[in-house]
Amino acid sequence: MSEMRRKLVVGNWKMHGSLTENEALLGALKAGLASAHGFQGAVCVPFPYLAQAQALLTGSRISWGAQDVSERAKGAYTGEVCGAMLKDFGCHYVIVGHSERRTLHGEDNALVARKMRAAQAQGLLPIVCVGETLAQRSSGATEAVVCEQLDAVIAPAGVQSLAQAVVAYEPVWAIGTGKTATPDEAQSVHAVIRARIAVIDANVAAGLQILYGGSVKGSNAMALFKMPDIDGALVGGAALDATEFLAICQAAGASH
Ligand code: 13P
């Protein structure tokens, strides 16, 4: 089943970068990946740097995207950025429902579902994030939490909507903490996610890329990528370091 899915490595820069730093980082990634193959690579940059990403990455094998999108198409929504604007800057992906947006900006499952649909309406591929907190894991609620988050995005638009999406499993306790889920821990949740979808549509489940996120780095990427239901990574801190990000990409290319 996993043969039909290509590995995908996405850097989530979060609120990091500057014109100067980005130029150096993207230059190093382009040079390092010029002859790489067997995986897809992308960076999700802050909104102000989309034009720079487009200028530097057009024609390279790295795609780019944003970290959030408005649920609305246009209008008097101060500070919001809609999907059509992201398309204008050549975005391929947009992250929706990252745990930092859920926790710090009060995004709930229903809003995440609307953002996913708004992205798809513009032909963007949403990377829908799900994941449990440490307290939820400790109380044995991991599967219930992740399935509830997943069901919330499936319910309004149907499971077929996941045919045009990527899912990222990011256990909140592993984000930015240096604590990675073990490959077995991550695999077991990825398998739950795929099985949940397979009950409704086996083809959508088989084709869906499910990324793991949470303290992924060059040294732990390969073991994660060897797992049958882990189709790549959503990378935070290590995506800001060209050597680390390239090592993760190389592991993705070598892992199938
Ligand atoms: P870290 O890789 O820094 O743990 O962040 C993971 C993440 O949140 C990616 O979206």
> What's the 119 CA to ligand 1 centre distance in angstroms?
22
Q: Which residue has the higher pLDDT, 159 or 178?
A: 159
Bridge partners of 168, per DSSP, are: 129, 211
Q: Give the confidence band of 1 by pLDDT, cuts at 50, 70, 90.
A: very low
Report which ligand 1 atom has the smallest distance to the Cα of 238: 2
Other residues' Cβ atoms within 10 Å of the Cβ of residue 41: 26
Q: Tell me, yes or no, whether 22 lies in a domain.
A: no
Which of 215, 224, 245, 248 to probe ligand 1 with, by most ligand atoms within 8 A of CB? 215
Domain count, the chain: 1
pLDDT higher than threshold 60 for residue 248: yes
* Cα 110 from Cα 177, distance rounded (Å): 28
pLDDT higher than threshold 60 for residue 58: yes
* Cα 231 from Cα 39, distance rounded (Å): 10
Q: Tell me, yes or no, whether 74 lies in a domain.
A: yes
DSSP track, the chain: -GGGS-EEEEEE--S---HHHHHHHHHHHHHHHTT--SEEEEEE--GGGHHHHHHHHTTSSEEEEES---SSSSSS-TT---HHHHHHTT--EEEES-HHHHHHS---HHHHHHHHHHHHHTT-EEEEEE---HHHHHTT-HHHHHHHHHHHHHHHH-GGGGGG-EEEE--GGGSSSS-PPPHHHHHHHHHHHHHHHHTT-HHHHHH--EEEESS--HHHHHHHHTSTT--EEEESGGGGSHHHHHHHHHHHHH--
Sign of CA dihedral 203, 107, 138, 212: positive
How remote is the C-alpha of 163 from its chain's centroid?
15
pLDDT tens, 82-127? 999 999 999 999 999 999 999 999 999 999 999 999 999 999 999 9
> What's the 175 CA to ligand 1 centre distance in angstroms?
5
Q: Tell me, yes or no, whether 231 lies in a domain.
A: no
Q: Tell me, yes or no, whether 16 lies in a domain.
A: no
Identify whether the C-beta of residue 207 lies closer than 8 Å to the C-beta of residue 4: yes
Q: Tell me, yes or no, whether 252 lies in a domain.
A: no
Of 71, 107, 132, 170, the catalytic one is 170
Q: Tell me, yes or no, whether 4 lies in a domain.
A: no
Q: What CATH number does the domain containing 147 carry?
A: 3.20.20.70
> What's the 167 CA to ligand 1 centre distance in angstroms?
14
pLDDT tens, 143-174? 999 999 999 999 998 999 999 999 999 999 99
Instruction: Please confirm, yes or no, whether 170 is among the known catalytic residues.
Output: yes
* Cα 235 from Cα 52, distance rounded (Å): 20
Q: Tell me, yes or no, whether 28 lies in a domain.
A: no
User: Is 12 near ligand 1, meaning CB less than 6 Å away?
Assistant: yes
Q: Give the confidence band of 180 by pLDDT, cuts at 50, 70, 90.
A: confident
Query: According to the model, what pLDDT value does residue 117 have?
Result: 96
Residue nearest to atom 5 of ligand 1 (CA): 236
Tell me the residue range of the domain where 141 lies.
38-224
**pTM for the structure as a whole:** 0.97
User: Is 68 near ligand 1, meaning CB less than 6 Å away?
Assistant: no
pLDDT higher than threshold 60 for residue 8: yes
User: Is 41 near ligand 1, meaning CB less than 6 Å away?
Assistant: no
Identify whether the C-beta of residue 145 lies closer than 8 Å to the C-beta of residue 132: yes
pLDDT higher than threshold 70 for residue 179: yes
Average pLDDT, integer, range 29-53 = 95
Q: Give the confidence band of 3 by pLDDT, cuts at 50, 70, 90.
A: low
pLDDT higher than threshold 80 for residue 256: no
Q: Tell me, yes or no, whether 15 lies in a domain.
A: no
pLDDT higher than threshold 80 for residue 49: yes
